[in-house]
Amino acid sequence: MEIGQRRRAFGRGAAGWATDVAEGRLFRTREDDAPTLGGESGCGGRRLPAAALAHDQIAPSAPSVPLRKTPHWRDRLSQRLSSLDLAPDLGRGIGSPRWLRGVGTLIGLSSAAIAFWPAFGPLEAAPVRLTEAERDSYRSQTITPLALGADTGSRMGATALVRPLAAAPERPRIELVATLAAGDSFERMLRRAGVGAGDAQRIVTLVGGAMPLSDIEAGTQVDIVLGRRSGADSPRPLEELRFRARFDLELAVGRTDGNALALSREAIRVDDTPLRIRGTIGSSLYRSARAAGAPASAVQAYLKALGEQIDVTSDLAANDTFDIILAHRRAATGERQAGQLLYAGIERGDKPRVQLMRWGNANNGANNGEGRFFEASGVGEQRSGLVAPVPGPMSSSFGMRRHPILGYKRMHSGVDFRARSGTPIVAVTDGQVTGAGRMGGCGQAVRLRHGGGMDTRYCHMSRIAVSAGQSVRRGQVIGYVGSTGLSTGPHLHYEMYRSGRAIDPASVRFVTRAQLTGAELARFRETLAKLKTVGPGAALAALEPTATERAAAAPVREIDRLEAPKPVQAP
Residue 241 lies in a domain: yes
Among 62-76, 218-232, 462-476, which is the least confidently predicted range? 62-76
Comparing 562 with 336, which gets the higher pLDDT? 336
Comparing 33 with 336, which gets the higher pLDDT? 336
Give the model's pLDDT for residue 41: 43
At residue 13, the 3 state secondary structure works out as coil
Among 162-176, 292-306, 529-543, which is the least confidently predicted range? 162-176
Comparing 411 with 242, which gets the higher pLDDT? 242
Asked if 62 and 13 count as a contact pair (C-beta separation under 8 A), the reply is yes
Identify the band that residue 391 occupies on the pLDDT scale cut at 50, 70 and 90: confident
Identify the band that residue 7 occupies on the pLDDT scale cut at 50, 70 and 90: very low
Q: Are residues 313 and 252 in the same domain?
A: no
Other Cβ atoms within 10 Å of 534 Cβ, number: 17
Identify the band that residue 447 occupies on the pLDDT scale cut at 50, 70 and 90: very high
E-assigned strand segments in 312-420: 321-331, 336-348, 351-359, 372-375, 383-384, 394-396, 399-402, 409-412, 415-418
| 486 closest CA partner among 442, 549, 455, 437 | 442
| 38 closest CA partner among 30, 47, 29 | 47
Asked if 443 and 482 count as a contact pair (C-beta separation under 8 A), the reply is yes
Residue 146 lies in a domain: no
Residue 368 lies in a domain: yes
List the domain range (segments joined by +) for residue 192.
Answer: 174-267
Q: Are residues 260 and 282 in the same domain?
A: no
Give tens-digit pLDDT for 179-217: 999 888 999 999 998 898 899 999 999 999 888 988 898
Q: How far is CA 70 from the centre of its chain?
A: 81
Give the model's pLDDT for residue 502: 86
Give the model's pLDDT for residue 36: 47
Among 454-468, 514-528, 545-559, which is the least confidently predicted range? 545-559
CA distance 300 to 352: 21
Q: What is the mean pLDDT of residues 1-15?
A: 48
- DSSP alpha helix (H) spans, 141-295: 144-147, 186-192, 197-210, 285-291
Q: Are residues 223 and 308 in the same domain?
A: no
Q: Are residues 296 and 262 in the same domain?
A: no
Q: What is the mean pLDDT of residues 422-441?
A: 88
Amino acid 364 reads: N
Give the model's pLDDT for residue 514: 64
Strand 477-481 to 424-426 pairing: antiparallel
Q: pTM here?
A: 0.47
Q: How far is CA 297 from the centre of its chain?
A: 25
Identify the band that residue 516 occupies on the pLDDT scale cut at 50, 70 and 90: confident
Is residue 538 over pLDDT 90? Answer: no
Is residue 65 over pLDDT 70? Answer: no
Q: Are residues 189 and 276 in the same domain?
A: no
Residue 570 lies in a domain: no
Q: What is the mean pLDDT of residues 142-151?
A: 64
User: Which run of H or E residues covers position 301?
Assistant: helix 296-307
Is residue 472 over pLDDT 80? Answer: yes
Is residue 345 over pLDDT 70? Answer: yes
Q: Which of 220, 244, 267 is the last residue of a domain?
A: 267
Is residue 68 over pLDDT 70? Answer: no
Comparing 459 with 544, which gets the higher pLDDT? 459
Among 65-74, 135-144, 415-424, which is the least confidently predicted range? 65-74
Give the model's pLDDT for residue 380: 61
Q: Which of 225, 242, 267 is the last residue of a domain?
A: 267
Q: Which of 267, 299, 323 is the last residue of a domain?
A: 267
Residue 168 lies in a domain: no
Q: Are residues 276 and 241 in the same domain?
A: no
Give the model's pLDDT for residue 138: 72
Give the model's pLDDT for residue 16: 52
Q: Are residues 199 and 301 in the same domain?
A: no
Identify the band that residue 151 occupies on the pLDDT scale cut at 50, 70 and 90: low
CA distance 24 to 422: 133
The rounded radius of gyration (Å) of the Cα atoms in the chain is: 57
CA distance 487 to 441: 8
CATH number at residue 230: 3.10.450.350
Is residue 284 over pLDDT 70? Answer: yes
Q: Are residues 196 and 228 in the same domain?
A: yes
Residue 74 lies in a domain: no
Comparing 431 with 515, which gets the higher pLDDT? 431
Q: What is the mean pLDDT of residues 1-13?
A: 48
Residue 433 lies in a domain: yes
Q: Are residues 249 and 282 in the same domain?
A: no
Write the secondary structure of 78-91 as one string of H (helix), E (strand) and C (coil).
Answer: HHHHHHCCCCCCCC
Identify the band that residue 177 occupies on the pLDDT scale cut at 50, 70 and 90: very high
Q: What is the mean pLDDT of residues 113-131?
A: 81
Give how far Cα 356 sits from Cα of 346, 373, 518, 520, Å. 9, 6, 19, 16
Among 154-158, 298-302, 452-456, which is the least confidently predicted range? 154-158
Q: Are residues 275 and 187 in the same domain?
A: no
Q: What is the mean pLDDT of the chain?
A: 78
Q: Are residues 234 and 290 in the same domain?
A: no
Residue 81 lies in a domain: no
Q: Are residues 482 and 421 in the same domain?
A: yes
Structural domain total, the chain: 3
